[in-house]
């Protein structure tokens, strides 16, 4: 997205007449959803509506998961964009959504991008977590971590944080890793699994055969 297009998007999302420059997001999220989320962050920053937008989008995301008709309406490629835009504006008005959230939904409908809504919401959540100083860390292990292992892991990971940051750790289990772990913290990714080592050695042996 060019700077000109990015600024146009911010002006569309923001109700502020001062939307001449983007407020830089605290973390970069890639892809189309990342560009929309960054523009949304800028617009919401200018109108001091960051918390409200995050809350409203989270609620809307939950509604899409629990309301099959709403999800079908959002994802239906046959419905005209104008019909979707008008319907979403009506819903936004009915539940008193802030202008920035309403403008995002309308813009996505008009541009035929509603199928990207959930990805955009998730990208915005990542940006908001960084805005609060939260560093998301996801650990995958072959076996569940016990309390002592988790505590030691958290202590090690916290060494990568800055003074004003907090760690948000989630752990999942994937037996196919065989052993070791895969860690993603912020924009860093480290694969220390046994499965990865086996694959690497297998490739080396195959190459030299």
Are residues 148 and 113 part of one domain?
Answer: no
Question: Residue 17: what pLDDT?
Answer: 45
What lies within 8 Å, CB to CB, of 107 at 6+ separation is 9, 12, 13, 113
Question: Residue 9: what pLDDT?
Answer: 55
Would the CA dihedral through 81, 9, 49, 18 be positive or negative?
negative
Cβ neighbour number for residue 106 with a 10 Å cutoff: 18
Question: Residue 16: what pLDDT?
Answer: 46
Of 129, 144, 174, the residue that ends a domain is 129
Are residues 124 and 55 part of one domain?
Answer: yes
**What is the pTM assigned to this prediction?**
0.68
Question: Residue 1: what pLDDT?
Answer: 46
Tens-place pLDDT, residues 145-203: 999 999 999 998 888 888 888 998 999 999 999 999 999 887 788 899 999 888 888 88
**Domain of 93, in residue numbers:** 3-129
Burial code (b: 16+ CB inside 10 Å, e: under 16) for 57-73 equals beebbeebeeeeeeeeb
Are residues 114 and 62 part of one domain?
Answer: yes
Are residues 156 and 57 part of one domain?
Answer: no
Question: Residue 12: what pLDDT?
Answer: 54
What lies within 8 Å, CB to CB, of 5 at 6+ separation is none
Question: Residue 139: what pLDDT?
Answer: 94
Are residues 137 and 125 part of one domain?
Answer: no
Question: Residue 206: what pLDDT?
Answer: 83
Of 79, 94, 129, the residue that ends a domain is 129
Q: For the chain, which ranges sit under pLDDT 50?
A: 1-7, 15-19
Domain count, the chain: 2
Of 129, 160, 187, the residue that ends a domain is 129
CATH number at residue 74: 1.10.520.20
Question: Residue 179: what pLDDT?
Answer: 93
């Amino acid at each position: 997205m060019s700077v000109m297009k990015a600024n146009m998007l911010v002006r569309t999302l923001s109700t502020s007449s001062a939307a001449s420059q983007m407020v830089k997001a605290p973390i970069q999220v890639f892809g189309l959803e990342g560009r929309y989320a960054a523009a949304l962050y800028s617009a919401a920053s200018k109108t001091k509506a960051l918390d409200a937008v995050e809350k409203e989008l989270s609620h809307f995301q939950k509604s899409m998961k629990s309301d099959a008709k709403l999800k079908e309406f959002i994802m239906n490629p046959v419905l005209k964009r104008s019909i979707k835009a008008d319907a979403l504006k009506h819903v936004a008005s009915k539940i008193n959504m802030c202008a920035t959230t309403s403008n995002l939904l309308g813009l996505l409908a008009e541009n035929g991008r509603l199928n990207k809504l959930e990805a955009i919401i998730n990208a915005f959540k990542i940006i908001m977590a960084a805005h609060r100083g939260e560093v998301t860390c996801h650990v995958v292990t072959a076996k569940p971590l016990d309390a002592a292992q988790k505590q030691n892991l958290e202590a090690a990971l916290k060494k990568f944080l800055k003074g004003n940051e907090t760690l948000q750790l989630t752990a999942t289990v994937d037996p196919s890793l065989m052993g070791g772990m895969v860690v993603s913290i912020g924009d860093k990714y480290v694969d220390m699994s046994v499965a990865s080592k086996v694959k690497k050695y297998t490739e080396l042996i195959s190459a030299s055969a």
